[in-house]
Chains A and B, each alone.
Chain A
Amino acid sequence: MAVNIDSRVPLEVLIDFQSVHRAAFRLFARTAGGEWEFVKDGTGDQRTILPPLPSGSALLYEFIYFAESRPFRAAVALRQNGRLLPDGVIPVTAAGDVRFIQGEVDLV
């Protein structure tokens, strides 16, 4: 998954839980060739503003949740200048008993 960003302005990352699960997330970021750096974790909807990131950076998200019989759903949304980026809403879905899900977003 790749999203075009403007590397001159801050990047806003929104975590939006969309199903009834006890759940938490972790968010990491790295610049091209760099190591993953912890950004934030939490248990509810969150909004985080990252400083301007150069092209070639990436975000990594991890969700954990307690099992329910319904599917887990959440979304990671990316905004700049108050606007959602094209392809900037990343749906996160998994079966109700998977409990752990991870994904990566390339920022180009």
Chain B
Amino acid sequence: MSSRILASGITLLSLCLADATSAQGAVDLPKLLPFAVPTSPSLQFIGASPAKVERPSSGPEIFTSLLSAIDTAGRVQQGFALDLAPAQFLWRNMDVDEYESPGGFILANTTLSSGTARSSGDSSSTTIGFGVRTVFLDNADPLSRAASAAGDAAIQQALTACLPPGPVNRNDPVQVKNIRTCLQRADSTFRAEYRRLHWNDYSFAAGGATGWGLKNSEWNEREWLGFAVWAVGAAPLCFRVAPRGVCNRGQWVAQIHHERRDSTFDGPGRNRTALGVRGNWGSGRFNLFAEGLQLWTHDAPSGVDDSYNEWSGGLEFRVTDELWVATGFGSRFNDATRDSEVAVIANLRFNVAPTRMLQKIVPGAP
């Protein structure tokens, strides 16, 4: 058994099931688990990363986007990608009370996605994918039901603290500026305190995707490729929210991913399930982590083990509201050879439920 220390650059953890080939043959080895449902399951499924993703916000824009996916000969165009938030059509005037309701929260955090890419090995053929992604629960979201009482109290307190008893003189730029500064401070204080208390709170997100290979890019010559599903959940260390102490210091995160891809002209088939569990110890800003992954390959060739596992550990710190940078080391065991390697890792990790889609898709939003 040999050991090596490998330094790797920053790689997005969304490559969790990216292919790797062992010296002994085609054995798919997973990278690290992302512990987040892909933002666009359809693109993940077809392995595309287009330069531009269409995000239509009205009926005519959807129509225009879909038209751009089809050429004048009626063939599907390659490199098309679309993200759609149904809430903007079905519940345009949703307010925070409605967002806090279970139905409103799920709808607001549901996205549909579609994308196309060139089929592997055949430039005239296209792979098309369709996906859905939703967040069922995210108590770490400062707009969620869990944050309702604290959020209302914070904004009510800001009303008293930041505004004068009488009407604001909006022609006084200094007064208006001071009010906005005060509100910004109240906003930051609320978010920081909420994150401190709830960084490890319950959340659960899921997504799925399916796709077809289109020979000569024609819908009539399609072959179903299979499907993939993801589910990620997080829970506090003691399975209850605690304002301080040991139970506020830890978090469990688990992810399951299953993919079944049929063997088609688009590529070889594969059928596998990955389960990952991670323990975080720290705070909403800095964590030590340890994680394990178990992968089962249901259609492994004879002579190749159908299971695989790896572990890794290290530390991570938050760089934005939703993004963590992680570094550490991990052991990966290649079942084909029983060789192991210890790799230094440097990775990015998104929150379990990243990017509230309303923020991302509503017109005017960045």
Spell out A's residues near B (CB within 8 Å): 16-24, 26, 28, 36, 38, 41, 43-45, 60, 62, 64-71, 73, 95-96, 98-100, 102
Contacts and interface: CB of A to CB of B under 8 A. Distances in A.
B262 to A, nearest CB: 40
A18 B95 CA distance: 5
A102 B168 contact: yes
Interface string B137-179: 0000011000000011011101100110111101000001001
Given A64-B163, A95-B364, A100-B179, A22 B184 contact: no
B152 A20 contact: no
A41 B163 CA distance: 12
Contacts of A69: 359-360, 365-366
Given A20-B95, A24-B155, A67-B187, 19 more contacts: A16-B93, A18-B94, A18-B95, A19-B95, A20-B108, A22-B142, A26-B159, A43-B152, A43-B155, A60-B167, A62-B168, A64-B163, A66-B155, A69-B359, A69-B366, A71-B362, A99-B187, A100-B180, A102-B168
A64 B156 CA distance: 9
B99 interface: yes
A37 B166 CA distance: 8
Interface of B: 93-97, 99, 108, 142-143, 151-152, 154-156, 158-159, 162-163, 165-168, 170, 176, 179-180, 183-184, 186-187, 190-191, 358-360, 362-366
Given A64-B183, A100-B183, A20 B99 contact: yes
A57 B185 CA distance: 35
B120 to A, nearest CB: 37
Nearest to A30: B167
A22 B145 CA distance: 12
Contacts of B154: 22, 66
B335 to A, nearest CB: 45
Contacts of B360: 69
17 contacts: A16-B95, A17-B97, A21-B95, A23-B96, A26-B163, A36-B167, A41-B159, A44-B97, A45-B95, A62-B163, A64-B162, A66-B151, A67-B184, A69-B360, A70-B364, A99-B183, A102-B167
B151 A22 contact: yes
Pick from A20, A43, A73, A99 the residue with the most CB of B within 10 Å. A20
A75 B74 CA distance: 45
B66 to A, nearest CB: 24
Please name the 7 residue pairs, one residue from A and one from B, whose CB atoms are nearest each other, closest first: A17-B95, A18-B93, A66-B187, A70-B362, A99-B183, A20-B99, A69-B359
Nearest to B183: A99
A35 B143 CA distance: 37
A62 B96 contact: no
A28 B167 contact: yes
Contacts of B176: 100
B184 A23 contact: no
B364 A24 contact: no
Contacts of A68: 143, 359
Contact of A99 (B165, B168, B184): B184
B168 A24 contact: no
A70 B151 CA distance: 18
A36 B166 contact: yes
Contacts of B365: 69-71, 96
Given A70-B364, A99-B183, A22 B95 contact: no
